[in-house]
Amino acid sequence: PRIAVFASGSGSNFQALADAAYAQQLDADVALLICDKPRAYVLERAQAANVPYVVFEPKQYLSREQYEHNVLHVLEEYDIDWIVLAGYMRLITPVLLHAYEGRMVNIHPSLLPAFPGLHAVRQALDYGVKVTGVTVHLVDEGMDTGPIVAQQAVMIEPCDTEAALTARIQAVEHELYPQVVRRLMRGKS
């Protein structure tokens, strides 16, 4: 299968997926990166990894739906089977949801349904939970909702900082996401 990763920022999860594909651990090709931010660092990673990328700036379109119709057109050109969201900071509309129903996943840095949305690591620290973690889920129209595919817990230490906890959570993400994608590609999830 051919995967498109969608990302808006640093792209460390994109990197983990591209590395796993390069090492033939994914049973899939990372065939395309879609990005909504022209200066995102993930674009440099894509260039270095030889993954083609297309930048779509939402403000150049009249609506979210029109924006996604243009994205969809490119996904079809590249023959993309699965969409893997990795730090893509936009909600998905029915345009892409219907085209990729059951074939779109997201990763979120909390044990959903706790702490959806932005700043999930800070939310967990502020609440005072002792355990947080990482969730991979199928995507629906909501923000960080949709059927859960995998979760992994991360313990919060007594004097944890947001930076330290984020680093431990991201280390888990970089292991978990490629594993889950491989399982999905093999049709075992």
Q: Provide the annotated binding site.
A: 11-13, 64, 89-92, 106
Rounded-to-integer distance, Cα 73 and Cα 186, Å:
26
Which of the 8 DSSP states describes residue 58? G
Phi then psi dihedrals of residue 182, to 5 deg: -60, -45
The count of other CB atoms within 10 Å of the CB of residue 122 is 13
**Which strand (E) or helix (H) includes residue 105?**
strand 104-108
Q: Which of 173, 176, 178, 180 binds ligand GRF (CB under 6 A)?
A: 173
In the annotated binding site for (6R)-10-formyltetrahydrofolate, the residues are: 64, 89-92, 106
Q: Per rule CB under 6 A, is residue 11 in the interface with ligand GRF?
A: yes
Rounded-to-integer distance, Cα 178 and Cα 189, Å:
13
Residue 108 designated active-site: yes
Q: Which of 87, 133, 146, 178 binds ligand GRF (CB under 6 A)?
A: 87
β-bridge mates for residue 148, sequence order: 137
Q: Per rule CB under 6 A, is residue 86 in the interface with ligand GRF?
A: yes
Q: Per rule CB under 6 A, is residue 116 in the interface with ligand GRF?
A: no
Q: Which of 34, 80, 105, 108 binds ligand GRF (CB under 6 A)?
A: 108
Q: Per rule CB under 6 A, is residue 107 in the interface with ligand GRF?
A: yes
CB 12 within 8 A of CB 42: no
CB of residue 62 vs ligand GRF: minimum separation in angstroms?
A: 27
Among 73, 98, 108, 119, the one annotated catalytic: 108
Give which of 7, 61, 27 is closest to 178, Cα–Cα. 27
Q: Per rule CB under 6 A, is residue 36 in the interface with ligand GRF?
A: no
Radius of gyration of the CA atoms of the chain, in A: 16
Q: Per rule CB under 6 A, is residue 110 in the interface with ligand GRF?
A: no
Site for ligand GRF, rule CB under 6 A: 7, 9-13, 86-87, 107-109, 170, 173
Active-site positions read 108
